[in-house]
């Protein structure tokens, strides 16, 4: 597409909007119109450089007022795709896409796309690290941090963008076509957006909607939902499993990770040598190994990276030990299933911080998974009442309710004894108190350091 004669409206000026605007500038776009419901003062100078480059300020306005004479709309994945102004724009024949689609249009690099309810960030990061160790230019992009537009202009044919994607993004793509897609697992989440599990599952399956027989789709054989999706993609389906021996894919047998790809079945490494802890991370490692193998990465590079990769920030991340108590940041635990994974990884008595934004999830399965190591819960946020009521209904009564995040950490410091853990794994999103899970995790780490 020639952008030199295009007027493009960018809606939502957080990280993805800024990245999209910068990419459009590199493409010599005729006019770039920046829009957000917030006014310029709210950005504390973050947009000043874009305006110095000549972009048009339409902050504080409604997008519906701006769509009449534009050629393209790029909007943040945080903007609901059913907004009336988006439907109006599409009815006028104006393409409305997110920054991932824009990046895909621009770059000649290959894409790998990873989705799922849990494990996305770890698997996306690990996959990109394997590609880098293989000698490729590779970036983890999407929900993981850097928007895809950040690197799209510079990435070339043979480079690999590893995108962590969500249904919110995929519904706003048109041509996005990964060479390998992966759905790590599907459990209940985001019903505040999708209303039903069927809608949520269909949203996850959009990751392979444009794939062909020449591509691959990687699915989890151990997850009861993804195990049933094998007949839906046009791409060749490959499964991974830590419980079952497979004819193709990646699996664990006799304590070894087995790769069976391209007609070749072989031992990759011992499963116990995967550095990141827990069965959930073993699943993530199998997925990353399978994805990278299907892209041609050699076994030695894959095995070495699995042995050395130490994990990602905000996912069962040890922060510090203070007065004999170990503080663990799992702010990425934004749904009950993710918190279950963190609970299973605890090897010592633990005080658990729960609560946050209400995504209409069910906490009952989480309390069923409580082990004897969970000694006390400290609860806050929008979901406080629901969590407390569920805990009591499940017979768990060691509960302290607090009003602020700071109070939660200080209360845990009083409750935890030497040799115990304090685990932040809220089982909820952060939006009632923080801008995202990263801000919540950083604040937790700040408060822990203040305890020293």
Tally of domains within the chain: 3
What is the model's pLDDT at position 55?
98
Based on the fold, state whether residues 125 and 30 are members of the same structural domain.
no
In a domain, 181, yes or no: yes
Give percent of the chain above pLDDT 90: 88
Categorize the per-residue pLDDT at 194 as very low, low, confident or very high, splitting at 50, 70 and 90: low
Based on the fold, state whether residues 228 and 275 are members of the same structural domain.
yes
Tell me the C-alpha distance between 429 and 67, whole Å. Answer: 32
Strands laid side by side in the 96-97 sheet: 56-57, 31-35, 7-11, 72-75, 96-97
Based on the fold, state whether residues 323 and 303 are members of the same structural domain.
no
Based on the fold, state whether residues 322 and 304 are members of the same structural domain.
no
Based on the fold, state whether residues 283 and 330 are members of the same structural domain.
no
Tell me the C-alpha distance between 63 and 37, whole Å. Answer: 8
Give 17's contacts (C-beta < 8 A, 6+ positions apart): 10, 11, 34, 36, 74, 76, 99
Categorize the per-residue pLDDT at 343 as very low, low, confident or very high, splitting at 50, 70 and 90: very high
In a domain, 2, yes or no: no
Based on the fold, state whether residues 240 and 145 are members of the same structural domain.
yes
Give 139's contacts (C-beta < 8 A, 6+ positions apart): 128, 146, 150, 151, 155, 161, 162
Tell me the C-alpha distance between 36 and 256, whole Å. Answer: 51
User: pLDDT digit string (tens) for 203-212?
Assistant: 899 999 999 9
Q: Do the beta carbons of residue 420 and residue 385 sit within 8 Å?
A: no
Per-chain mean pLDDT for the chain = 95
Q: What is the CATH number of the domain that holds 195?
A: 3.40.1190.10
Helix, strand, or coil here: 184?
A: coil
Q: Is 352 exposed, middle or buried (0-12, 13-18, 19+ CB in 10 A)?
A: buried
In a domain, 280, yes or no: yes
Helix, strand, or coil here: 57?
A: strand
Categorize the per-residue pLDDT at 359 as very low, low, confident or very high, splitting at 50, 70 and 90: confident
Give percent of the chain above pLDDT 70: 99
Based on the fold, state whether residues 83 and 109 are members of the same structural domain.
no
Q: What is the CATH number of the domain that holds 410?
A: 3.90.190.20
Distances (CA, A) of 39 to 22, 66, 85, 344: 20, 16, 19, 45
Tell me the C-alpha distance between 327 and 340, whole Å. Answer: 17
Q: Which two tokens stand for residue 236?
A: 């060749």
Query: How far is C-alpha 307 from the geometric centre of its chain's CA atoms?
Result: 23
What is the model's pLDDT at position 300?
99
**Statement: residue 108 has pLDDT above 90:** yes
Which ranges constitute the DSSP H helices of 189-335? 191-194, 197-205, 279-294, 299-308
In a domain, 190, yes or no: yes
Termini Cα distance of the chain = 56
In a domain, 169, yes or no: yes
Host domain of residue 218 = 100-308
Among 97, 117, 135, the domain-final residue is 97
Q: Do the beta carbons of residue 367 and residue 390 sit within 8 Å?
A: yes
CB-side neighbour CA atoms (13 Å) of 249 = 28
Based on the fold, state whether residues 135 and 160 are members of the same structural domain.
yes
User: pLDDT digit string (tens) for 149-184?
Assistant: 999 999 999 999 999 998 888 988 999 999 999 999
Based on the fold, state whether residues 253 and 151 are members of the same structural domain.
yes
Q: What is the CATH number of the domain that holds 68?
A: 3.40.50.720
Based on the fold, state whether residues 328 and 402 are members of the same structural domain.
yes
Tell me the C-alpha distance between 71 and 42, whole Å. Answer: 28
Residue 260: name the closest of 226, 299, 228, 203 by CA: 299
Categorize the per-residue pLDDT at 190 as very low, low, confident or very high, splitting at 50, 70 and 90: low
Give 61's contacts (C-beta < 8 A, 6+ positions apart): 35
**Statement: residue 387 has pLDDT above 90:** yes
Tell me the C-alpha distance between 298 and 359, whole Å. Answer: 41
In a domain, 166, yes or no: yes
In a domain, 238, yes or no: yes
Among 287, 308, 329, the domain-final residue is 308
Do the strands 374-379 and 350-354 form a parallel or antiparallel pair, or are they unpaired? parallel
In a domain, 1, yes or no: no
User: pLDDT digit string (tens) for 417-428?
Assistant: 999 999 999 999
Based on the fold, state whether residues 346 and 440 are members of the same structural domain.
yes
User: pLDDT digit string (tens) for 58-99?
Assistant: 999 999 999 989 999 999 987 888 899 999 999 999 999 999
Distances (CA, A) of 258 to 246, 253, 289, 327: 9, 7, 10, 35
What is the model's pLDDT at position 188?
75
**Statement: residue 145 has pLDDT above 80:** no
| Widest CA span in the chain | 66
Q: Which two tokens stand for residue 160?
A: 């690999």
What is the model's pLDDT at position 169?
87
Helix (H) or strand (E) holding 50: helix 48-52
Among 62, 77, 97, the domain-final residue is 97
**Statement: residue 382 has pLDDT above 80:** yes
Based on the fold, state whether residues 399 and 268 are members of the same structural domain.
no
What is the model's pLDDT at position 192?
65
Distances (CA, A) of 323 to 97, 269, 419, 449: 51, 38, 9, 12
What is the model's pLDDT at position 361?
84
What is the model's pLDDT at position 77?
80
Residue 120: name the closest of 211, 220, 261 by CA: 220
């Amino acid at each position: 597409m020639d952008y030199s004669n295009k007027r493009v409206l960018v809606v939502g000026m957080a990280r993805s909007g800024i990245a999209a605007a910068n990419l459009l500038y590199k493409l010599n776009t005729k006019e770039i119109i920046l829009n957000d419901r917030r006014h310029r003062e709210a950005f504390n100078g973050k947009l000043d450089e874009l305006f110095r480059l000549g972009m048009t300020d339409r902050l504080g306005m409604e997008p519906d007022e701006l769509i009449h004479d534009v050629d393209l709309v790029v909007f943040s994945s945080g903007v609901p795709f059913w907004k009336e102004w988006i439907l109006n724009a599409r009815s006028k024949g104006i393409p409305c896409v997110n920054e991932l689609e824009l990046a895909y249009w621009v770059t000649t690099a290959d894409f790998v796309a990873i989705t799922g309810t849990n494990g996305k960030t770890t698997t996306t990061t690990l996959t990109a690290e394997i590609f880098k160790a293989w000698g490729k230019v590779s970036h983890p992009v999407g929900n993981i941090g850097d928007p895809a537009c950040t690197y799209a202009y510079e990435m070339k044919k043979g480079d690999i963008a590893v995108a962590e994607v969500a249904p919110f993004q995929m519904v706003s793509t048109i041509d996005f076509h990964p060479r390998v897609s992966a759905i790590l697992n599907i459990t209940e989440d985001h019903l505040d957006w999708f209303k039903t599990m069927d809608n949520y599952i269909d949203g996850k399956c959009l990751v392979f909607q444009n794939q062909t027989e020449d591509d691959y789709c990687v699915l989890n054989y151990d997850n009861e939902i993804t195990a049933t999706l094998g007949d839906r993609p046009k791409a060749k389906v490959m499964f991974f499993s830590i419980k079952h021996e497979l004819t193709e894919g990646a699996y664990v047998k006799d304590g070894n990770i087995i790769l069976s790809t391209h007609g070749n079945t072989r031992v990759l490494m011992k499963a116990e040598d995967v550095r990141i802890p827990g069965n959930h991370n073993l699943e993530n490692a199998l997925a990353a190994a399978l994805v990278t193998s299907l892209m041609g990465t050699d076994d030695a590079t894959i095995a070495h990276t699995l042995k050395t990769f130490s994990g990602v920030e905000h996912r069962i991340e040890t922060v510090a030990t203070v007065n004999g108590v170990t503080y663990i940041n799992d702010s990425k635990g934004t749904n009950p299933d993710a918190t279950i994974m963190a609970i299973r990884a605890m090897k010592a008595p633990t005080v658990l911080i729960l609560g946050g934004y209400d995504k209409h999830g069910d906490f009952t399965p989480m309390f069923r998974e409580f082990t004897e190591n969970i000694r006390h819960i400290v609860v806050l946020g929008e979901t406080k009442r629901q969590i407390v009521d569920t805990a009591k209904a499940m017979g768990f009564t060691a509960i302290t309710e607090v009003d602020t995040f700071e109070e939660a950490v200080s209360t845990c410091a009083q409750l935890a004894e030497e040799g115990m853990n304090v685990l932040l794994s809220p089982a909820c999103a952060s939006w009632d108190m923080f801008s995202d899970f990263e801000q919540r995790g950083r604040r937790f780490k700040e408060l822990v350091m203040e305890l020293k």
